[in-house]
Structure 1
């Protein structure tokens, strides 16, 4: 909407209630001292907010991603769950090739055996080939 960083921070903080509001009052004072009165950027605000309210949840999602395998899921459900959780584990799958390799490792062994020989480096293509391989299962 063309808002400045300062306006974004003010609006987000305005929407806080209860404990979140009290947390922000304290955090804002600390940041004001640290920044010596400079404007709190939107990036700084988001980092502080996420560290305070989502750190544990993000860790749990990253752990779930680390342990994710296809198991009894369909290829489509496995791919959806994989993509949903991958954003919490970007250090494990920072690019297309590593994402594709990790997905392939988690496939059911019979399907993985059928697709490994193709050496696919594109995630979408791998999902499609694995779906076809599953049909031939």
Structure 2
């Protein structure tokens, strides 16, 4: 069973256990989604129900789509997150068929601080957003003082536009 958690390792552990069961039982991708969603509890189950109601009648969620929609950066480096995001994005069709949708999904999985800083930047393409996220992580890691300056510059430029 799975309940909502902020701990990414718990979710990864739960997914690993499910994958082991799927492999043992030779479960198809469509069956994986049905099996996994029966394991959801609390707000996670409510989220899934809401998500399903909003889908077109003939829409079928695949296991990769479910994994993509739950993707969070968590403890991953930005490059690890970018690689995982891009890998899963190739399986989710209309969820990322425009730069705007791709940017929204990418941003959704980032930590709140990066979401705010990237939103202020006003990036217009997924490529520029992704490159900015990678650069910001590098600046934050390599030079905390420069990171503070960079953050202030973004805030000032964001307020000047608004």
CA contact (8 A) 1:101 1:121 kept: no
Residues 1-137 of structure 1: pairs in structure 2 closer than 5 A = 55-56=30-31, 59-137=62-140
Structure 1 residue 56: Cα displacement = 4.8
Report the TM-score, using the length of structure 1 for normalisation.
0.55
- Give distance in 2, aligned partners of 1:106 and 1:91: 18
Please list every run of at least 4 consecutive aligned residues from structure 1 whose deviation after the TM superposition is greater than 6 angstroms: none
**Residue aligned with 2:95, SS:** coil
Q: Please identify, of 63-72 and 125-134, the stretch whose mean Cα deviation from structure 2 is larger.
A: 125-134
Distance in 1, matches of 2:138 and 2:29, equals: 39
Q: How far 1:71 sits from its partner (Å)?
A: 0.8
Give the Å deviation of 1:54: 5.5
Rg (Cα) greater in structure? 1
Structure 1: 5+ residue stretches without partners:
1-52
Question: Are the equivalent residues in 1 in contact too, given 2:29–2:63 (CA < 8 A)?
Answer: no
Post-superposition Cα deviations, 1:36-78, rounded to whole Å, max 9, x if no partner, equal xxxxxxxxxxxxxxxxx65557711110000001111111111
What secondary structure sits across from 1:117 in the alignment?
Answer: helix
Aligned length: 85
Cα RMSD (Å)? 1.9
2:36: which partner in 1?
none
